Amino acid sequence: MSNYDDIKHLTRPQYDDLHPMSMHDRAAQFSPFAALVGYDDAVAETARLNDSKAELTEDEMSELNANLNRLLDRLDEQPEISVTYFVPDEKKSGGKYVEKVGVVRIYDEYSQELVFTDGVRIAVADMANIDFLE
């Protein structure tokens, strides 16, 4: 005797208090089990590097102020500019520097933000550099 010939002819036992399990539910018992759900995501998030916001030197600050004043004087001309600014990370400390190229529509004095024609708003406090693309 081989290949379980002695039990192949038997049927599965039936119980009055238990309904037969569907094939889907039986298969689910053998699916992979992740004991630490989210662990890989947490490790990846921890490993993600962020920059810290750099403090501008006096020379960099005066150049930024001069370019900002120049931009405010020329808003009616709608010059195209490039702004490098800091975006804080939503999940942990730090963030990254991003460059935005576009045309400024207005300067919102109340919130101290540049408002671009596409609706993007950038706070002056987060700016690191303004360049005119002429």
Domains and CATH numbers, the chain: 58-132 (2.30.30.100)
Which amino acid makes up residue 71? L
Look at the pTM and tell me if it is higher than 0.85: no
Q: Per-residue confidence of the chain (134 residues) as pLDDT tens digits? A: 578 888 888 887 888 888 888 888 888 877 777 677 778 777 777 766 677 778 888 999 999 999 999 999 999 998 899 999 998 877 777 788 899 999 999 999 999 999 999 999 999 999 999 999 87
Strand pairing partners for 103?
A: 80
For 3, 62, 65, 96, the CA distances from 58, given in Å and listed in that order, are 85, 6, 10, 22
Evaluate whether 83 touches 98 at the Cβ level (below 8 Å).
no
Sign of CA dihedral 70, 71, 75, 77: positive
The DSSP line for 18-33 is SPPPPHHHHHHTTS--
